[in-house]
Amino acid sequence: MNRVIERTMIVPNMHLLTLEAPEIARKIQPGQFVIVRADDEGERIPLSVADWDIGKGTITIIFMEVGASTGVLAGLTAGDSVATCVGPLGNATTIGRFGTVMCVGGCYGIGSIYPVARELWYAGNEIIMVFEARSSYLIYWADRFVHRAAKIFTITRDGSLGMKGHITRLTDVIHALPKPPDRIIVNGCTYLMAHASEVTKNLGIPTVVNLNPIMIDGTGMCGVCRVTVGGTTKFACVDGPEFDGHEVDWKEFLARRKQYTNEETSYFRHSDPKPILHREGKCHS
Amino acid sequence: MSEEKQGKLDLNRHDMPKQSPEMRRHNFNEVALGYTQELAVAEAKRCLQCKKPKCRTGCPVEIDIPDFISYIVKGDFKSGIKKLKEKNCLPAVCGRVCPQESQCESQCILKNKGAEVAIGRLERFLADWEATQGEVDIPLKAARTGKKVAVVGSGPAGITVAGDLILLGHDVTIFEALHKAGGVLIYGIPEFRLPKAIVAREVEYVKKLGVNVITDYVVGKTRSIDELLKEFDAIFIGTGAGLPWFMNIPGENLNGVYSANEYLTRMNLMQGYRFPMSSTPIRKHAKVAVVGGGNVAMDSARTALRMGADEVRIIYRRSHSELPARAEESENAEEEGVIFNMLTLPVQYIGDENGWLREIECLKMELGEPDASGRPRPVEMPNSNFKMKMDAVVCAIGNSPNPLVPSTTPGLETTRHGTLVANPETGKTTRDRVWAGGDIVTGAATVILAMGAGRKAARSIHEFLTTGKQ
């Protein structure tokens, strides 16, 4: 049982969840994740960790409400608790002095790339931050990157901020720089990571992605998170979650992520009303 | 029931009542229903009470088998269970999942007549009888020693170590990575073979003895062994064999291809069969193939049937007589309608455009000369390829030890199989104050062997804690 310290919707559908987890806070490194189970009937879902506070003994997660399990998490309020929060799991991001590192974040990945960017900045790298979102109002935590990033770019689907278009415009971002970055790290949805990797592969820039497959235990036991990287099968939970974006079999990865889409929607059709479905929307608060 | 007698010997081994195959293939309730008191006493009376009981030598934890059976004959079940528990702290579990036919019962003198005493069923009877008697007696604990022991993993090895050491007066904390304690007994073995309530009862029992059980805690991640050694005087590692093997054949990452661990964990630990009441989904597949011939393969196949599959096949590369599963389990599976494709080896999984499994391609095998395991080597028959339409495949070909703890613990030696190097008599590893036992040392084996290893390690840890010798 881990106590909820805070749960707020920071932009529509995107939630910040701070949990009491002193041992995890003490141990966690950028790039690692936790497995959370909202309640006793809950599914075990892997969530990237966006921040932590050793002094307060807390960790902060940014997650998007996409289905039943994240729906329950989105209904939590301070003082509630989650049944399970276990970690830190997976390997930490490789931190080194690479030179210029471009950090690309979209969706929940803006949160999870924040500690990565911070650590890389401490290690002496120049940070170029790229936000990707459908629209400007879905971007959060921009202030956190301001004093660490040498440059900040934004790509929005509707053009409400920065460049208009899809993540494929990353090419234009890279061309706008005096020289290409030495390394690119991408956190976010599968499409973002897959397409960004495609762009950077053509440009020959080393690219690291932080994969987010379905998991159960998160410790190498079930193998549901397997992913083909460079022609060999890896378990994202123990061999990753970070991999070379140019080597990931994205088609397979995407298909594996969608395995339970039917069941997830049937859950909404058949189950008893869940409190979450009756929760008042706070989108514009 | 026919009374077959030969001299004074009663050769009528009593069957245990079971749910009928037609009924049980549609529910997750336990298949075997257990002896009634009358049946148990009648079966117990068949024991010859040998002066030098060979059955004991067949038991990895040396239970006083004739002794506990003699109490059943007298109807003194309370003394019987007490006797049993002197050597085995998990009788309700062992009575169900131990391979008695290759252990105690294989040594029974009546085996020569084909009518060995049903020791396992009697063990189960006593344990189940005790469960109906309300509060379980808590044995007397030794005075507290102030020594602290950490047990990593709450499977059969860990529970045994914890149960033994707490009674000897030490402080014991179990760390479990998953959210429920019990290890493979909880996530692996299905409800219809080992009801989860029984495992929960055993875990409650060690808690009642005073063992602190911490779930959701991954040793090697949340805290390393070295960090634990700062707080604890001794550590026992019983993390089991939890890393699933795949065959490395094309198409293995298609949707619909599961490791047995995933399939069973979704069902057992996460209660997928109750979906959508539980929130972990499991797909309903019409045609399911299970690759492998062990107990885990039988568990997976029988689970698939209960999930409503129309066709479930066991695909095994050797023949029926080499099946590593207990005879009882493969018979149960067959009765329930599982189809056995023996001497068959999958070579490729073929999917559709959306990445879902549609067909499996197999080769026919024949048996050749015995290999290192002593079993005939399966040899591929050239040009014997054929295809079967399948919606799901469960790969149940075995597990290797989970490397999480070994890989994060410097100086903890492993073998080339990934198992921990440990003294077989004491469980002592290559690290100071660290012991290990169960599947993490032996590779995937049985519940009772893990318990036996736990018992030996507990003895050795106790000696260290009281004398300083390791």
Helix (H, G, I), strand (E, B) or coil at B341: strand
B397-410 average pLDDT score:
92
Judged by CB atoms closer than 8 Å, whether chains meet at B355 and A251 is answered as yes
Query: In this complex, which of B248, B262, B271 lies closest to A224 when CB atoms are compared?
Result: B262
pLDDT for res B383: 94
> Which chain A residues are closer than 8 Å to B277 by Cβ?
41, 271
Judged by CB atoms closer than 8 Å, whether chains meet at A224 and B216 is answered as no
Separation between Cα atoms, residue B438 and residue B430, nearest integer Å: 16
Reported as half-sphere exposure (CB side, CA atoms, 13 A), residue A74 has a value of: 26
Chain A: residue nearest B175 by CA? A86
Query: In this complex, which of A84, A223, A255 lies closest to B244 when CB atoms are compared?
Result: A223
- Nearest CA of chain B to the CA of A115: how many Å? 19
Query: Are B194 and B187 a contacting pair, CB within 8 Å?
Result: no
Nearest to A7 by CA among A107, A66, A75, A55: A75
- Nearest CA of chain A to the CA of B231: how many Å? 14
Helix (H, G, I), strand (E, B) or coil at A156: strand
Query: In this complex, which of B242, B279, B403 lies closest to A42 when CB atoms are compared?
Result: B279
Strand-strand pairing, B287-291 and A58-64: unpaired
> Which chain B residues are closer than 8 Å to A227 by Cβ?
253
Say whether residue B277 is in contact with chain A using an 8 A CB cutoff: yes
Beta bridge partners of B18: B32
Judged by CB atoms closer than 8 Å, whether chains meet at A238 and B403 is answered as yes
- Nearest CA of chain B to the CA of A251: how many Å? 8
pLDDT for res B146: 95
pLDDT tens-digit series, residues B214-255: 999 999 999 999 999 999 999 999 999 989 999 999 999 999
Separation between Cα atoms, residue B236 and residue B219, nearest integer Å: 12
pLDDT for res B5: 43
The predicted model scores a pTM of 0.91
Say whether residue B270 is in contact with chain A using an 8 A CB cutoff: yes
Say whether residue A73 is in contact with chain B using an 8 A CB cutoff: no
Query: In this complex, which of B246, B277, B402 lies closest to A219 when CB atoms are compared?
Result: B402
Judged by CB atoms closer than 8 Å, whether chains meet at A219 and B258 is answered as no
pLDDT tens-digit series, residues A90-129: 999 999 999 999 999 999 999 999 999 999 999 999 999 9
Higher pLDDT, B464 or B373: B464
pLDDT tens-digit series, residues B117-156: 999 999 999 999 999 988 777 878 899 999 999 999 999 9
pLDDT tens-digit series, residues A125-169: 999 999 999 999 999 999 999 889 999 999 999 999 999 999 999
pLDDT tens-digit series, residues B245-255: 999 999 999 99
Say whether residue A155 is in contact with chain B using an 8 A CB cutoff: no
DSSP symbol at A90 = S
- DSSP states of A183-225: EEEEES-HHHHHHHHHHHHHHT--EEEE-----SSSSSSS-TT
Query: In this complex, which of B246, B270, B355 lies closest to A216 when CB atoms are compared?
Result: B270
Query: In this complex, which of A86, A223, A260 lies closest to B281 when CB atoms are compared?
Result: A260
pLDDT for res A59: 98
pLDDT for res B308: 92
pLDDT for res A281: 41
Query: Are A154 and A128 a contacting pair, CB within 8 Å?
Result: no
Helix (H, G, I), strand (E, B) or coil at A244: strand
Chain B: residue nearest A43 by CA? B280
The complex's ipTM?
A: 0.89
Judged by CB atoms closer than 8 Å, whether chains meet at A41 and B218 is answered as no
Query: Are A105 and A130 a contacting pair, CB within 8 Å?
Result: yes
> Which chain B residues are closer than 8 Å to A256 by Cβ?
253, 255, 355
pLDDT for res B7: 53
Query: Are B54 and B107 a contacting pair, CB within 8 Å?
Result: yes
Residue that the structure tokens 């990353």 belong to: A170
Asked if the model's pLDDT at residue A270 lies above 90, the reply is no
Chain A: residue nearest B248 by CA? A233
Judged by CB atoms closer than 8 Å, whether chains meet at B278 and A41 is answered as yes
Cis peptide before A241 (omega within 30 of 0): yes
Q: How many CB atoms lie within 10 A of CB A166?
A: 14
Write the CB contacts of A130 (distance below 8 Å, at least 6 apart in sequence): A102, A103, A104, A105, A152, A153, A154, A155, A170, A173
> Which chain A residues are closer than 8 Å to B217 by Cβ?
23, 86
A26-51 average pLDDT score:
94
Higher pLDDT, B165 or B85: B165
pLDDT tens-digit series, residues A39-77: 988 889 999 999 999 999 999 999 998 878 888 899 999
Chain B: residue nearest A28 by CA? B222
> Which chain B residues are closer than 8 Å to A89 by Cβ?
218, 221
Tell me what the pLDDT averaged over chain B comes to.
92
